[in-house]
Each structure stands twice: as C-alpha cells, then as structure tokens.
Structure 1
C-alpha cells in the first residue's frame, strides 16, 4: 500500500515537472488561441499515438477496449478541460482563471466522496487547503474583472479535470492514458471548426512542436496514470506545483518579475507539497521496518 502511494506521488510529480514549461512556451508564441488549440490538439494526438504504440504495441487496441465508456469520458473531459482553460484565459483576467482552477483538488475530493465514497485522511485535507490557499495568494496579484463566460469556462475546466482524474481513479486496472489521443483529436476538430487550421510562423511552429511533441504528451500521460495509485484530489493538488515552477520559468526567461504575494504564495505551495512528500516517505520507511 505504501509502496503504491510513493509510486503514485512520484509519477504525478514527474508529470508536473514535464508540464511546467507550458506557460512559458505559450507566452513565447504569438498565434491566436484557436490556432494554438488546433495544433496543440493535432500534435498531441500524434504524440499520444506514438507513445501508446511504443508502450503497448499489439496490445494497444485491447487496452483501449478495457477502458470502456470511462475511457471515452476521460478523453472528452481532457478536451473540455483544455478548451475551458484557454477560453477562460481569453475572456477574463488570468488571476480569475487561476483562482478557480485552484479549486480542482477540492472538487476532486468532493466528487470522490459523493460518487465513490472515497475519503481522504485529515493530513491530506490539511495539505490540500494549504496548497489551494498558497496558489490563490499567487493569483490574487493578477485578480481582475472579465467577462462572465471566462469565469464559467474556468469553472468548467476545473470540474472537467477533477472528474477526469476521478473516473480514471475508479478503474485502476485500466490505463486511461491510451484514450487521451481521442480527446486531443476532439480538441483539434473543435478548433478547426472555429477557424484554427492555419499554419503558424516557423518560430511559433518550433515552440508549439517542442511543447506538444515532447513536454505535454509525457506530462499528460504521467498525470493520467497517477490516479491508478493515489487519490484524484492528490494528483490535482500536485498540479498546483506547476503554477509555482511555471511562474519561476517565466521570470527566469522573460524577466516577468512576480509580485511579493506571488512569491509568498509560491513558498507556501512548495513547502506544503514538500512536507506532504516527506510525510509519505517517512510512513513508507516505518511500514518497511515493521
């Protein structure tokens, strides 16, 4: 049991590390959101197909069938969460979107409790509350007004993410990551309908290719696998680390100096997740000794 939890935390943390360049590479590109969404979806679908073919070879189709309707749900939820995030960012202040997205761990925990009767230990709830508070403090510096559509879509993104991870958690015997390619194709199709099927400049193509052919497919695969070993709320909580490291990369490369509140909130999130990992490692060592 303890070995499984350590494995799950390590997989989720590694996935978060691979997703951290997302904000930086999105900021570097100058394409319209709908064009970015089209190529993000198309290239991710190709990447997922390659990764899954290498992992499963002739067993890929049987593994997809094993996922059943829950696999299709995860694929659609993946597309909806990505779409909600981008539309939210386009229609309201970034701080508004981040604060709403930071509620994903709480939403995931509530869904798990209401639907699957899965409860979390008090220590995990404490870490979740501390992390959400720290991430929200980071976002307060960018709090602003915006269209109601942006707020609604940010809420949709947080709920879709939480639901996706919970459904994946409900079938630990099936690898839901093999279905993400269909969610990526759905995202590309929706963007194409919206006029996103345009060729970016060479510079933007290089950055989009780096993000969608390397960083994102590895990150999404690992994060989708995480709920097979730990609670969906814990995976969502680990994703808050991306806010901290992503902001640091933007600061380092683009010289966008974070506010004092952002730095303070980042320290809270990083310290809480570090404490969570330390506690789990200690529990694993005690269980091993006994």
Structure 2
C-alpha cells in the first residue's frame, strides 16, 4: 500500500534531499555574505576600526573552529611537526604561510572596504576574482591559459571598467581607498583559492579545517600588523561597560557565524556541481543590493548594474569552463 500521497518513494525523497540540501546550504551561505557588511559597520560605529575589526573577527572565528574541530586540527598540526608529509616541513609551512597572508589580505580588504565604501561597488570589485584566478592558476598550478580564459578575464575587467568609468575623470579606476581595498580583496581571494587548491593537491592528508583556520588566522595577524597604519585614538575605543560588552558580543557572534557559514558552504560545494554552486553563490550580489537598499537607501545606478552583469556572466563562464576541464 502506498502511504505517500504524492506517489514518491523513499529513494526519490532521498535523491531530492541530496540535491536540495547542499543547494540550500550554499544559498544560506551566500545570503550571510550578502549582509555581513552591516555588522561590520556596527562595529565601526562602536569605535572599532577596520583593521582592528578584521583582527578581532579573525581571532574569534579561529577560536570557534578550534573548539569545534580541535581533534582534526591537532592531528593536522602533528603531521606537520613530525614531517609525515609528501613534501618537506619547510615547504608545507611556506605554503600555509602564503595561504595565511592571502586570507589576511582578503579579510582586511573586504572588511575595510565594506566599512568605508559603497558596499555594492566594493562587492563587485571583489567579484573580479575569476579574472585573477586565471593567472594565479597558470603560475602556481601550471594550468594552461587558453582563449576561453582570456575572454573570461577580459569580460570581467570590461565590466569593472564600465562600472568605474567616470565622465568627469574619464579613467576607469577605483574612486577611493575603499574601492581599492575591495579590488585588493578580490585579487587576494583568487590567490587564496588557488593556494588552497594547491595545498589540497600536495598535502591531501591535511584536514580542510586546517586551511580554514589558516585563512582566518591570517586575517587576525594581518589585521594586527596593519593597525598602526590606520589612525585612530584610544578615546574612540568602546572601553565603557555597555559599549564594550556590545562590541565583544558582536565580535563573538560574527566569529561564530563566519565559522558556521564556512562549514555550511563547504558542505554544499562538496556535494553539487561547481557550475551550479557558482550560480547559487551569485545570489550574494542580489542579497547585497537588497540589504544596501533596505538599510541605507542606496541603489546601484544603471552603469553599475551593466558592469555587474558582465562580472556575473564572467563568473558563470569561468565556473562552466573549469567544470568541463
């Protein structure tokens, strides 16, 4: 007797869950990244500078990941210290240090740009990462550059130039330091992804959580190192009990959310096709535009939407090309 009114058996429902749950995980992850700029601005309003915010959030995220994954992370560190790796301990540490630096520059660039600039423009400059991935993959992974790669990179850069072109200046360059920070974050993000792929190839025994901790740990260290370059006064820090408690609570929550969000996205991208994952991740741009409009009243202009369209198409084409390979 069929007890399912829709006529679907257990295998059909199981197959549906295998496809829908990873897609939902990526969708939720993209939504979180689309609104993460707002709590960063709340930290700035409390007196936490962009560099200090990057350091505090990176440290909080690492702490959360160590609490959850201490066993696998300890195993990964022991394998490095005991030199039980396919490559030398020096080369392994060098790769992890490069990954930490790239992750740190990604975090500080995104955080500083989201706090001080137009969020939508910073986000679109960040999404130029497929253009830079082509060259980093050729340099570090020895992947061949073909006509499709060049076309994708040119399409991304054309979208950026269309968005950044100013009738007054006539030069398609970032207008302020916040936009330069977003551009730097996108370049660093591309390097971070390529280095992560390289480490997963040459050090397959290391847990993926160790790469994640390395990235956020780099965010904490780079943020601390750059604090002296960002002028601020001690009087602006939230040292009074109410403001201090709010800042600490917001920092801890941000660290937990970013750690959980990373775990959620990793669950999704490991279970569905890369081109479909990239399509879902682009929902982040939609969420960003809606959240910026709702919370600040800003709306992207037609030229910015045109540039965004080029960047989105380039991202989809990049994912499709690499998936076919």
Same fold (TM over 0.5): yes
Q: Deviations over 1:29-82 (max 9, x none)?
A: 54388624324422332233223432x332322224557322222122211222
State yes or no: 1:199 paired with 2:238: yes
1:46-125 mapped onto 2 (5 Å cutoff):
46-54=60-68, 56-64=69-77, 68-69=92-93, 70-86=95-111, 100-119=125-144
Secondary structure of the corresponding residue to residue 118 of structure 1: coil
State yes or no: 1:258 paired with 2:300: yes
State yes or no: 1:167 paired with 2:195: yes
Contact 1:74 1:180 in 2 (8 A): yes
Distance in 2 (CA, whole Å) between partners of 1:146 and 1:19 is 24
Tell me which residue corresponds to 1:249: 291
- Cα offset, 1:112, TM superposition: 0.5
More helix by share: 1
- Cα offset, 1:156, TM superposition: 3.8
Q: Deviations over 1:1-47 (max 9, x none)?
A: xxxxxx99987665433311122333455438862432442233223
Q: Which piece of structure 1 moves more, 150-159 or 90-99?
A: 90-99
1:1-12 mapped onto 2 (5 Å cutoff):
none
Distance in 2 (CA, whole Å) between partners of 1:35 and 1:90 is 9
Pair 43,158 (structure 1): closer, same or farther in 2 beyond 3 Å: closer
Pair 157,23 (structure 1): closer, same or farther in 2 beyond 3 Å: same
Tell me which residue corresponds to 1:184: 219
Distance in 2 (CA, whole Å) between partners of 1:23 and 1:141 is 25
Pair 269,103 (structure 1): closer, same or farther in 2 beyond 3 Å: closer
Secondary structure of the corresponding residue to residue 24 of structure 1: helix
TM-score, normalization: structure 2? Answer: 0.59
Q: Unaligned regions of 5+ residues in structure 1, if any?
A: 1-6, 285-290
Q: Which piece of structure 1 moves more, 57-66 or 92-101?
A: 92-101
Pair 36,266 (structure 1): closer, same or farther in 2 beyond 3 Å: same
Q: Which piece of structure 1 moves more, 262-271 or 35-44?
A: 262-271
Distance in 2 (CA, whole Å) between partners of 1:139 and 1:234 is 29
- Cα offset, 1:228, TM superposition: 8.3
Contact 2:62 2:217 in 1 (8 A): no
Secondary structure of the corresponding residue to residue 170 of structure 1: helix
- Of residues 45, 60, 76, the one that matches 1:31 is 45
Q: Aligned residues, how many?
A: 274
Pair 235,87 (structure 1): closer, same or farther in 2 beyond 3 Å: farther
Distance in 1 (CA, whole Å) between partners of 2:75 and 2:40 is 35
Secondary structure of the corresponding residue to residue 217 of structure 2: helix
Q: Which piece of structure 1 moves more, 262-271 or 72-81?
A: 262-271
- Cα offset, 1:256, TM superposition: 2.1
Q: Which has the larger radius of gyration?
A: 2
Pair 239,156 (structure 1): closer, same or farther in 2 beyond 3 Å: farther
